[in-house]
Chains A and B, each alone.
Chain A
Amino acid sequence: MKARNAIVVLVGLVAVAIVVLVVSRTPSQPVVIDIVGEALPPLEALGRLAEEYTAETGVEIRIHPFEFETALQRAQLDFTSGAGDYDLVMAIFYNQGRYFEAGNIIPFDDSRFDGQVPEPVSGDSFYPAVRAATMDYGGSLVAYPFSAQTMFLWYRKDLFEHPGERSAFLERYGYDLPVPDPQTSLTWGEYRDLAEFFTRGAGEDLAGATLAAARYGTALQMKRHPASFYEFTNFVYSIGDGFFNESGRPTVDTPGNRRALDYYLSLREFAPPGYLQATWDDALAQMQQGTVAMTIMWSDAPSELYKAESSSVVDKVGYALVPVDATKRRQVSVFGGWGFMINADSDIPEECYKFVQWVSRPRQQLAWAKDGGLPAAASIFDDPEYIQIPYMPAQNEALKHLVTWPRDPKAEQFVNLGIEYLSLAASDQLTAAEALTELQRKASALYDEE
């Protein structure tokens, strides 16, 4: 009898569980779109913008923010496992080829999306360079731009314009302290002079005040982390010869790239100690704390400089483009944009499509930009409200000079190799020439593999 009772109870419990499961999945429950991405201001702003979408449509948007590398891992593991935990994936541009070729995503030009929204936002409405870098791959529309991150120069306007500092600079270097703007870039020679000039010890004067702690000319992001690779890419494409030739083969070890790495490493003496552990988070914090006079930084973070509770430099920062090589004069800005990709294992691809379409409309793009987003919709780039955002003129200019690298399936492995050898050079375990030679050997082997 006891056994029979136990079985009856067990069967009852299973039945209840099944009923609960079925009830919890009835259509009356709201549709939820799960989005995975990097925890950064534009994604936080998307969460706030999405509340409007939820109010309009009843579709709930659930954001899953992670640290950069973790976000990439989450996306990859979700794709491979086929779990479909994330309906929309924020994909870094260089991984798009791999996701597409592996069949992990549904392209936006898939026929199932035909007629889902009355007037879809077309790819042509986005800034052409961003479109080229994030949307088209293999003849398909693989992604819609999420955010258009670029890197440009942040500098302490108040220090650069301070009369005492200007006259001291003129006296020491024999030329006027250059104040850059989005149309006028520094040269790398000037950048180095400025970095040296603004590096001061505790007890020295800076802009008329005696320093309680040391101040530095520039921040550097040299941790063994993707931040170092992105930062260095600006130097490689500006001073050097780039990472790839026209046929997509790695060409890392060139005289120009050696010069670029030598120059990059020479800035270490003007950076806060601990640059070997620093990423973009540290560069932002150093700028917020007023520890550094300038840095090459991401366009997704300046909004953090205007929060008085965490920034001591509110309204003291100016923006210009990445410095240029005095002879080449090549203006570059490394691209680090993310795209929305629809997971092929999502149960609700049509809902994802509709949400991306909604976010991509100019009204939403502008509202998002004002809250910390980095839109790619070209139609709002001249909007007075958009241009009024202090860093957007520099962002607009930087987009004209985007530098990317091939988005083939091996791109991420190439980036990881680059990170490894940059770290070896930054920590003086290899010379610049040795690091580039080794990186070239490994990268060639990678691209020679089947």
Chain B
Amino acid sequence: MINLRSAHRLLQSGRLHHSAAIWLGPAALVLVWAGPIVLIVAGSFFRLNVADPHALFQLNELSHYRRVISSGEFWGAVLRTFQMTLLVVAGSIAIGSLAGWGLLGVHRRIARPILGAFLVPLFLPPVVSALIWYFQSNPQYGPVGHGLYASTGRTLLGPDLAFASICIFEVWRISPFFALLVFLGGRSFERSLRDTVVIYRPKLGFGFLGLLIRKHKPMIGLGLFLGIAMAARAFESIFVTTGGGPGTLTETLPMLVHRTAFQRFELGYAAAQSVIYDVILVVVLGQLCRVVAKS
């Protein structure tokens, strides 16, 4: 125990610098950063059914994990999440890169406002953009939804198209990130290389593309990493528009965890779902980092 007097003595002697006090700041940071993770992992071993406070802290050992592993509902949600993540990241990279790449050849004064406008979805609060999407998908008064319904008789958030609609929405939200990345990456080229890109872009082949990829490997890796992390956590778009439905067609892992925690009030089980999902994500992202690093 360090009291004020002894702390003062330590300060005067200069030893405090090397004593426990120096760890207080980092320890607090670690606590703030790791605290929630520790709580989630610890919580997954307890029953933690909020609706049943008598058995709230009853130790459940590994039974939540056994239940998760054998749950078709969980693996169905994992599958949908991975499908959505793959589609969204691929779509976002394609559209974002095209946009960023296209803007490289445009004069800076024109490129900047266009890029600024393109970035709007990235900076809108997700719940606001989800609401915008919800309204425009409405088959009665939403311009996109109404047009589609009038021409095909299908609804954007109906069983046929709900999953695809959510994916398109997420691409709309995330592709500006890739556009920004490509644009800034291009701007950071040496002038000569940039000029080459701008002047010879129509004639550039895969060899040059390969050169660009190699040159900007860390940035591409970072982009992929963040893109996957963003897409895999998509929640507001689904929560606001479909609520995970129709049926379970758009129930991804974040939606399932939310439903488990806040509709069924099974916080312990939801924690176990989260832990397993995080482990899967970390493994996938880790492998991705290795592949990018090796390439």
Residues of A within 8 A of B (CB): 3-4, 7, 69, 73, 76-77, 79-80, 98, 102-104, 213, 223-225, 272-274, 276-277, 291, 409, 412-413, 416, 420, 423-424, 426-430
Contact = CB atoms under 8 A, between A and B. Distances in A.
11 contacts: A76-B51, A103-B53, A213-B140, A273-B158, A274-B140, A276-B246, A277-B137, A277-B157, A424-B247, A428-B159, A429-B249
B243 interface: yes
A3 B8 contact: yes
B139 interface: yes
B139 A274 contact: yes
Interface string B85-116: 00000000000000000000000000000000
B140 A273 contact: yes
Contact of B249 (A80, A273, A427): A427
B4 interface: yes
B158 A276 contact: yes
A427 B247 contact: yes
Q: Is the interface of A mostly helix, strand, loop or mixed?
A: helix
Contacts of B4: 7
B18 interface: no
A80 B53 contact: yes
B223 interface: no
A264 to B, nearest CB: 15
B263 A224 contact: no
A224 B245 contact: yes
B155 interface: yes
Contact of B264 (A77, A272, A413): A413
B268 to A, nearest CB: 13
Q: Which of B51, B242, B248 has the most CB of A within 10 A?
A: B51
Nearest to B149: A273
B50 A224 contact: no
A80 B50 contact: yes
A3 B53 contact: no
B51 A409 contact: yes
B54 A102 contact: yes
Given A73-B262, A80-B56, A409-B52, A424 B155 contact: no
Contacts of B245: 223-224, 276, 423, 427
Given A4-B8, A412-B51, A427-B246, 9 more contacts: A69-B263, A76-B51, A224-B243, A276-B157, A277-B137, A277-B157, A416-B263, A426-B247, A429-B246
B265 A76 contact: yes
A435 B158 CA distance: 18
B11 interface: yes
A224 B264 contact: no
Contacts of B137: 277
Interface residues of B, number: 34
Nearest to A279: B243
A430 B54 contact: no
A224 B8 CA distance: 63
The 6 A-B residue pairs with the shortest CB-CB distance, nearest first, are A427-B246, A224-B245, A273-B139, A424-B247, A429-B247, A427-B159
B51 A276 contact: no
A7 B155 CA distance: 66
Contacts of A429: 159, 246-249
Interface string B134-173: 1001111000010001000001011100000000000000
B139 A426 contact: no
A21 B4 CA distance: 26
Contacts of B81: none
Interface string B193-230: 00000000000000000000000000000000000000
- Most chain A CB within 10 A, of B11, B53, B145, is at B53
A144 to B, nearest CB: 23
A412 to B, nearest CB: 7
Given A7-B4, A274-B157, A430 B247 contact: yes
Given A69-B263, A272-B139, A224 B242 contact: yes
A76 B50 contact: yes
Contacts of A69: 262-263
B155 A273 contact: yes
A277 B140 contact: no
Contacts of B157: 274, 276-277
Contacts of A430: 247
Interface centre among A103, A273, A409 (most CB of B within 10 A): A273
Nearest to B50: A80
Nearest to A421: B247
A62 B149 CA distance: 44
A103 B245 CA distance: 35
Contacts of B262: 69, 73
Given A277-B242, A429-B159, A423 B247 contact: yes
B44 interface: no
A272 B140 contact: yes
B247 A224 contact: yes
Contacts of A4: 8
B237 interface: no
Given A80-B53, A272-B139, A276-B159, A416 B247 contact: no
A80 B157 CA distance: 36
A274 B246 contact: no
Contact of B145 (A7, A274, A428): A274
Interface in B26-65: 50-54, 56
Contacts of B140: 213, 272-274, 291
